[in-house]
């Protein structure tokens, strides 16, 4: 069979661009999000049109991509942020209101403004490491996405306790909340990656966050506050207000003692997992002088850390 008859020695040829829209949608449903964005969308206009179907844009999850790669300095640049914003804005428009889950990093108010306006069915929002997301846009998210059941604003230092209160007031279905901070006790893992001025902007008042959580998020089941600077007062407020908690992560919370945690967790009858602040703290963090026998012990064994 020659080429004029539509075939070759290896078999009949096929023009995938001629597939019906319904067939294309069926084929594309079997490939990953990454394969659609990096391959299928670039084939031709008909493939791009199929990739824009709302059924492919109910979930936008880039978190697995970030988890599998090392954080890079370029991720914290305006150029990278604009790329993430552009992708998210496209997905929001293509979803036609059906978007229920967003897991990205390094987005900004530009894209989240469209999310707040166009995603009333959103249930999951994870925007870790987004330095330019502010209280202003989180207020719009709170009113525009009342069905939120999971929210992650870890490493978003422009989001304050005011946003947490608004989210709690408007999103009564919230069950999972993550407000983790970067490791300020040992920032070496972030140096030369995260801008130093951003590391210095780490929120200082963990008890304000704790007050908002305890007062306005009573239905939480899962709470993460790694490296928060909350004190025993804030932890008690959370324990008294979030009685249904099953999972609590307090890793790196240097202002809490074992006694604080025991006293506060006595309120939490449903608690199944608690991660305590069990770590070494460099003495230089506190610049504390130690006296008497402790000084003799230091000189003899040359210790430079102590354990909480």
Which pLDDT value is given to residue 237? 97
Is the Cα torsion angle 226, 217, 203, 122 positive or negative in sign?
positive
The CA–CA distances, whole Å, from 213 to 149, 166, 173, 209, 283 equal 14, 10, 14, 6, 31
User: What mean pLDDT is predicted for residues 148-177?
Assistant: 98
Q: Scan for tokens 């990656």, then name that residue.
A: 193
User: What mean pLDDT is predicted for residues 238-267?
Assistant: 95
* Cβ-based neighbours of 139, under 8 Å, separated by 6 or more: 163, 166
- pLDDT bin (cut points 50, 70, 90) of residue 42 is low
Which pLDDT value is given to residue 8? 46
Interval 181-232: pLDDT, tens: 999 999 998 999 999 999 999 999 999 999 999 999 999 999 999 999 999 9
Determine the Cα–Cα distance for residues 122 and 146; give it in Å rounded to an integer: 8
Instruction: Give the DSSP H/E element, type plus range, for residue 208.
Output: helix 206-216
Which pLDDT value is given to residue 50? 72
Please answer whether residues 95 and 57 qualify as being in contact, where contact means their C-beta atoms are separated by less than 8 angstroms: yes
**Which domains are seen in the chain, by residue range?**
1-53 (1.20.1280), 54-307 (3.80.10.10)
Number of alpha carbons in the 13 Å side-chain half-sphere of residue 78: 0
């Amino acid at each position: 069979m020659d080429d004029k008859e539509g075939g070759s020695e290896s078999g009949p040829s096929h023009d995938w661009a001629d597939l019906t829209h319904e067939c294309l949608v069926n084929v594309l449903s079997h490939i990953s999000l990454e394969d659609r964005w990096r391959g299928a969308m670039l084939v031709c206009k008909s493939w791009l049109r199929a990739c824009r179907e709302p059924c492919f844009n109910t979930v936008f999850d880039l978190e697995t991509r970030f988890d599998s790669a090392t954080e890079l300095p370029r991720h914290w640049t305006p150029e990278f942020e604009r790329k993430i914003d552009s992708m998210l804005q496209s997905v929001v428009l293509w979803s036609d209101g059906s978007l229920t889950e967003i897991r990205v990093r390094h987005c900004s108010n530009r894209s989240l403004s469209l999310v707040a306006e166009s995603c009333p069915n959103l249930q999951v929002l994870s925007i870790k490491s987004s330095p330019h997301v502010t209280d202003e846009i989180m207020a719009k998210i709170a009113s525009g996405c009342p069905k939120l059941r999971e929210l992650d604003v870890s490493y978003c230092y422009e989001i304050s306790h005011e946003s947490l209160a608004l989210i709690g007031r408007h999103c009564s279905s919230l069950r999972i909340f993550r407000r983790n901070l970067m490791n300020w006790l040992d920032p070496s893992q972030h140096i030369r990656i995260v801008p130093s001025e951003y590391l210095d902007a780490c929120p200082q008042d963990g008890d304000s966050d704790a007050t908002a959580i305890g007062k306005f998020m009573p239905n939480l089941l899962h709470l993460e506050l790694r490296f928060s600077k909350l004190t025993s007062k804030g932890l008690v407020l959370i324990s008294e207000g979030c009685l249904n908690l099953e999972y609590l992560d307090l890793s790196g919370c240097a202002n809490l003692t074992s006694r604080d945690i025991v006293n506060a967790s006595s309120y939490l009858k449903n608690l199944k997992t608690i991660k305590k602040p069990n770590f070494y703290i460099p003495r230089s963090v506190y610049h504390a002088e130690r006296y008497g026998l402790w000084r003799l012990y230091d000189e003899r064994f040359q210790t430079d850390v102590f354990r909480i």
